[in-house]
Structures are given as C-alpha cells and as structure tokens.
Structure 1
Amino acid sequence: MKVVGLTGGIGSGKSTVAKMFQKLGVAIYIADDEAKKMMNENAFLKNKIIELLGKESYLNEKLNREYIANIVFKDKVQLDQLNAIVHPEVAKHFNHWKKQQQGEYVLKEAAILFENEGYKQCDYTILVSAPIEIRIERVLRRDDTSRENILSRMNNQWDDAQKIVLADFVISNDNLKDTENQVNEIHKVLSAKQPVV
C-alpha cells in the first residue's frame, strides 16, 4: 500500500484537502492530531516533555499548548528537541494504523513533512499551497490568535519554494472548486495500479 504525504504551511488548507480525499474513500491519518492526543495520553511522552520544558507543560493533566507554543515557536532548538521526542512515537503509531487500512494508498497529513524528513517514508507527496495573505486571513478567522503569532509559526516552516522542489504534486488552494478538481485528478493517478511517472 502506498503512503502519500500531504503537507502545506499553516492556513494553506491541507485539512480541507484531506477531507476531499476522505470523501473519495481514502483513509486519512492526521499526524498533528495524533501527536496532540499522544502528548496528552502517552506517559512516556508526558515525562519527556516535562523534562524538556518543565512542569508547566501540563495543566490539570492536560497539555498546556499555549505555554509550549510560546516557548518552541520562539526557540528553534527547543522546537527541534520537542519534535525529536514526539515524531518517532507518532511514526510508530502511524505504521500500526496503516496495517489496518485498505485501498491503493493512505494519506498522511503532516504540517512539517519536509522539514522533519518525514517525506522520506512516503511513496509520494502532495503540497497544498496558497498565497500568504489568504493563509493569514484563514488562520485569523479560524484561531483566536494574532497576525504576529501566525507569522512566527510560518517562520518555523519552510516556504513553498523550498517544498515544491520535493513535492510530487502541488495543489493550488485558493478556489474550492479548482482545488476539488485537482484532488480528483491526483486521486485518479494515485489509485492506478501502475507507478506514477
């Protein structure tokens, strides 16, 4: 079974694209959601995160996301250390999940697929791209955050120019109808038995 990595910067619309693939019957693994779940439930991860970032990382036994974000999005070394703790556990979880799926391929959605070299474990990759101002507007509508916080998170992700070089497919997501057409075309290619050229 093929593993297809789906990625895109904050506000690019990768979750919207993932839902479009899901409607076509593709099994979707949202790595960031699973990571959050595991950071709340996995005792090994909790201990490692407290060791790295302090007891304030958890409030009432729940991950203190705001506290952690304030540290790691301002300090690349700490962000890299946190990722080094969490990503191997998520990779194990994904491999277990994948064995239970059916179909020609599964989709693994991950925000930093290229930055953390997760794309190397994928057969193909899809990059969801959108103009920066559209992305900022989407996140401002979606999250209770500031433009400054969004830009700080964007600065911790590669820009699209770096990602396009590594992507097998690029979806331009600034018009939903066009996006859906692009998803359908890519799905046809990925569902085919022969290798993608």
Structure 2
Amino acid sequence: MRRIGITGGIGTGKTIVSRLFAVLGVPVYDADTRAKWVMHHNKALRQELLEAFGPATYTNAGELDRTYLASMVFNNPQRLELLNSLVHPHVGKDFEVWAASHADKPYVLKEAALMFESESWRQMDEVITVYAPLALRLQRLLQRDTHRTEADIKAILARQLSEEEKMRRAQHVIFNDDKQLIIPQVLSLHEQFSKAGA
C-alpha cells in the first residue's frame, strides 16, 4: 500500500481535492482534524501540553482550550514551534496505526497543511501539492473566512512555506487556478496510484 501526502497552503483547495479522492473510495487521513482528536485523547500528549503551556491548556471539564492555546502561540514563533514539536510526533504515530488499518487498499492519502514543515512528508511515498495563485487564494479566503481580514490571512500565509517551494518538493501538482479542471487531474493521479499500489 502506497502512502500519498496531499498539501497546499491555506486557500489552495486541498480539502476539496481530498474529498474528490474520498469519493473515489480512497481512505483520507485529515491531519488537522486528527491532531485535535489526539490533543484531546492522548494522555502522554495532554501531559506534555500541560507542562509546556500551563493548566489553562485544558478546561475544568478536561476539554482542550483551543482559544487559550492559540493566544499562547499566536505571533510567538518559538511557542508555535514548541507546540508543533509536541503534537506532530503523536499525529505521526496515529497516522501509522490508521494506515495499517487500510492495508488492503492500493493507496491512502494524508492531507496536511504543514506536510513539509512538520517533516511528515518523510512518511509518504509521494506528495501532491495543490496550487492556486495568491490573488485567487486571498479572494477565496476573504469569502470563506469572513471573520478574518486580509492582513490576518497574509500573516498566516507568511508563516507557511511558499507555494513555489512546495511545488518544487512535491512529485505531483494539482492546479486549482480556475483555468484547469481539477477532476481530470485527480482521476489521472488516482489511476496512476492505483496501478502502482496494486
């Protein structure tokens, strides 16, 4: 079974592309969603987060206080790096267990915004980057995330690896630029990965 990573900066449309693969019957691991689950349920990680960020990291009911944690790492690269260094190894282990449960499939997908930044690309056989030009991404994000300003979005983009660098590191690129249809691109890669993993 092959492991295919799928990444792309905020607003590129990687989640839409992942959903298209899911429609084709491909198991998709959403790293962001699973990270939240692991932060709630993994006792070792809970302890690590409490030691690093203090008792306010979890509410009295035992729920992760995401607002508090976000305020701790926002505009603080060292704390953000610390958070990622604690969470990503546990998510990597969670992915291994999940992937093993789909060993009968030709391939699985792992969707992660920080595929290269977190080094999780090393677990993958190949990586797809979903690309969209900056102006189009800004337009999409301002429509989608109405609570964010253009300055907020640009601050998030500035913290992510550039699209050009992601394209350079990936083995495959899907263009979601409103010029090329994405379904034929997904079908072509699906056929390729299915044959390779069969």
- Is 2:178 the partner of 1:175? yes
The Cα RMSD (Å) is 2.0
Task: Note the 1:137-176 alignment, pairs <5 A.
Answer: 137-143=139-145, 144-175=147-178
Which stretch shifts more, 25-34 or 55-64? 55-64
Q: Residues 64, 133 of structure 1: CA spacing in aligned structure 2 closer, same or farther, 3 A cutoff?
A: farther
Percent identity between the aligned chains? 38
User: 3-state SS of the aligned residue for 1:116?
Assistant: coil
- Is 2:196 the partner of 1:193? yes
User: 3-state SS of the aligned residue for 1:155?
Assistant: helix
Q: Which amino acid aligns with 1:97?
A: W
Distance in 2 (alpha carbons) for counterparts of 1:133 and 1:69: 27
Q: Residues 137, 55 of structure 1: CA spacing in aligned structure 2 closer, same or farther, 3 A cutoff?
A: farther
Distance in 2 (alpha carbons) for counterparts of 1:131 and 1:36: 29
May I ask how many residue pairs the two structures share in their alignment? 195
Q: Deviation of residue 38 (structure 1)?
A: 1.2
Q: Residues 152, 183 of structure 1: CA spacing in aligned structure 2 closer, same or farther, 3 A cutoff?
A: same
Distance in 2 (alpha carbons) for counterparts of 1:92 and 1:176: 38
Preserved contact between residue 126 and residue 167 of structure 1 (Cα < 8 Å) = yes
The equivalent residue for 2:65 is: 64
- When the two structures are superposed, what TM-score results if normalisation uses the length of structure 2? 0.90
Distance in 2 (alpha carbons) for counterparts of 1:110 and 1:5: 7
Superimposed CA distance per residue, residues 82-111 of structure 1 (whole angstroms, 9 cap, x where no aligned partner): 111111111111111111113211000111
Distance in 2 (alpha carbons) for counterparts of 1:176 and 1:14: 16
Is there any run of 5+ residues in structure 2 with no aligned partner, and where?
none
Preserved contact between residue 113 and residue 119 of structure 1 (Cα < 8 Å) = yes
Which stretch shifts more, 105-114 or 125-134? 125-134
Q: Which amino acid aligns with 1:83?
A: N
Superimposed CA distance per residue, residues 38-84 of structure 1 (whole angstroms, 9 cap, x where no aligned partner): 11222322222222223333344322223322332412211111111
Q: Deviation of residue 177 (structure 1)?
A: 6.9
Is there any run of 5+ residues in structure 1 with no aligned partner, and where?
none
Q: Which amino acid aligns with 2:99?
A: K
Q: Deviation of residue 194 (structure 1)?
A: 7.4
User: 3-state SS of the aligned residue for 1:149?
Assistant: helix
Q: Residues 73, 12 of structure 1: CA spacing in aligned structure 2 closer, same or farther, 3 A cutoff?
A: farther
- When the two structures are superposed, what TM-score results if normalisation uses the length of structure 1? 0.90
Distance in 2 (alpha carbons) for counterparts of 1:158 and 1:106: 24
Q: Which amino acid aligns with 2:134?
A: I
Q: Residues 42, 178 of structure 1: CA spacing in aligned structure 2 closer, same or farther, 3 A cutoff?
A: same
Q: Residues 145, 61 of structure 1: CA spacing in aligned structure 2 closer, same or farther, 3 A cutoff?
A: farther
Q: Which amino acid aligns with 1:136?
A: L
Distance in 1 (alpha carbons) for counterparts of 2:43 and 2:142: 33
Task: Note the 1:110-125 alignment, pairs <5 A.
Answer: 110-125=112-127
Superimposed CA distance per residue, residues 153-174 of structure 1 (whole angstroms, 9 cap, x where no aligned partner): 2111101111111100001112
The equivalent residue for 2:92 is: 91
Preserved contact between residue 74 and residue 152 of structure 1 (Cα < 8 Å) = no
Q: Deviation of residue 14 (structure 1)?
A: 0.7
Q: Which runs of 4+ in 1 moved over 6 A?
A: none
Q: Which amino acid aligns with 1:44?
A: A
Q: Residues 88, 194 of structure 1: CA spacing in aligned structure 2 closer, same or farther, 3 A cutoff?
A: closer
